Amino acid sequence: MTESPAPRGPLAGIRILDLTSVILGPYATMLLGDMGAEIIKVESPGEGGGDIMRWPGAGPEEAGPGMGPLFMMYNKNKKSVALDLKRREDQDACVALARTCDVVCSNMRMDTAARLTMDYDSLRAHMPNMIYIHAAGFGADGPYAGRPAYDDLIQGISGGADILPRVDGNPAPRYLPTLAADKTVGLFMVQAVLAALFHKQRTGEGQFVEVPMFECYTHYVMHENLYGHVYDPPPPGTGFGYGRIHNPDRRPYKSQDGWIGILPYTDRNWTDFFVLAGRPELNSDPKFSTYRARMVNIKELYSMMDAMVSTRTNADWAKVLTEKAIPFAPINRFGDLMEDPHLKAVGFFRKHAHPDGYVWVDMKHPVNYATTPASTRMAPPRLGQDTAEVLREAGVSLPKAAE
């Protein structure tokens, strides 16, 4: 459970000034940190200060205040520098830090960033070729520009809250019970950082990159859900939404002794599955004998799955589906994941000894780089624990109020 001398990841040597908070930005910078970038996280000092995600939930007594589970999950591989950006002296210190970095990442609202002189135009005056990645709620060119945005609001305005009503028939819009917008847009932010670094490597030119939540998450939600509206006008009988995934019977199925996910996909898969399920006559039914016919009749087909799956146990299904190369998977509850044999084999959940005397768990970076593997090098930091060291390396005196 000790921290290993971790390998250098693909972004080793890249330094990022992290002016983000909550989930979206910290998720992005955490992933960049996994990949080897040095992340300097700037947080507000003082009791109850820092990233607001330090405070939800409770940790072990040894962790002390401000080390809640959400902060732990999103802020490994980072150094914490406590600066009060409302003070000119601290603003100057942050600018000095920015000058040592390759990228500045921010999800402050633009008016706030400008007031603190941490916006692109203010920092570019000191660093003409800087890369500045700004995650905004809404793109600057639209009428919603500057409005505050959080995961719930973006799920709603993007069409994301219209997904579940299309599945279960309850017309009330609902949010997906996960921080889907924050994490999806966080991945767009990682992509933006990498693309801007690549451009600068080729040309020497920095740039401002806007990552708007509304546009990014709508892009994610509507790729399959635009469907018939890909055409103008949409063909008769078509509309929004890919019917296969909005089918209420697209779900885990009840076997004789549990739940299992089964997804026959090809003609061969379905031919074999109908036989295994004791319904070989369906192979000669014109409604189910070809891919196109199955898509037309997918609602009826999926409605039959429960009865077919209930004929065998999970273990029996696993055996015969494996023999026929039909896609399937066990249905894991949250509590099952740490014992999943595949995740255990790849070392997905890992325990670490925190320097403050408790054990914390993280998840292995999911992408495998053969030559430059990602890694966990540092535990999530206490608020401001690296202030003196990082400022000294940047040639900056510790601001008086922070001493």
3-state SS, residue 131: strand
Hey, what are 300's tokens?
């009826």
Domain with CATH 3.40.50.10540 in the chain: 15-221+363-402
Interatomic CA distance for residues 61 and 127, integer angstroms = 43
Task: Band the pLDDT of 401: cuts 50, 70, 90.
Answer: low
Is 50 exceeded by the pLDDT of residue 303?
A: yes
Sign (positive or negative) of CA dihedral 354, 360, 366, 370: positive
Pick the CATH number of 253-330 from 3.90.1150.10, 3.40.50.1580, 3.30.1340.30, 3.30.1540.10: 3.30.1540.10
Superfamily of the domain at 15-221+363-402: Crotonobetainyl-coa:carnitine coa-transferase; domain 1 (3.40.50.10540)
Q: Tell me the pLDDT of the chain averaged across its residues.
A: 95
Strand partners, 135: 211
Average pLDDT over residues 105-109: 97
Encoded amino acid at 268, one letter: R
Task: Band the pLDDT of 96: cuts 50, 70, 90.
Answer: very high
pLDDT tens, residue by residue, 253-290: 999 999 999 999 999 999 999 999 999 999 999 999 99
Is 80 exceeded by the pLDDT of residue 7?
A: no
Interatomic CA distance for residues 333 and 19, integer angstroms = 35
Owner of token pair 């001493």:
403
Average pLDDT over residues 139-159: 97
Q: What is the per-residue pLDDT for 8?
A: 81
Q: What is the dihedral of CA 312, 315, 320, 326, to 10 degrees?
A: 100
Q: What is the per-residue pLDDT for 2?
A: 41
Domain with CATH 3.30.1540.10 in the chain: 253-330
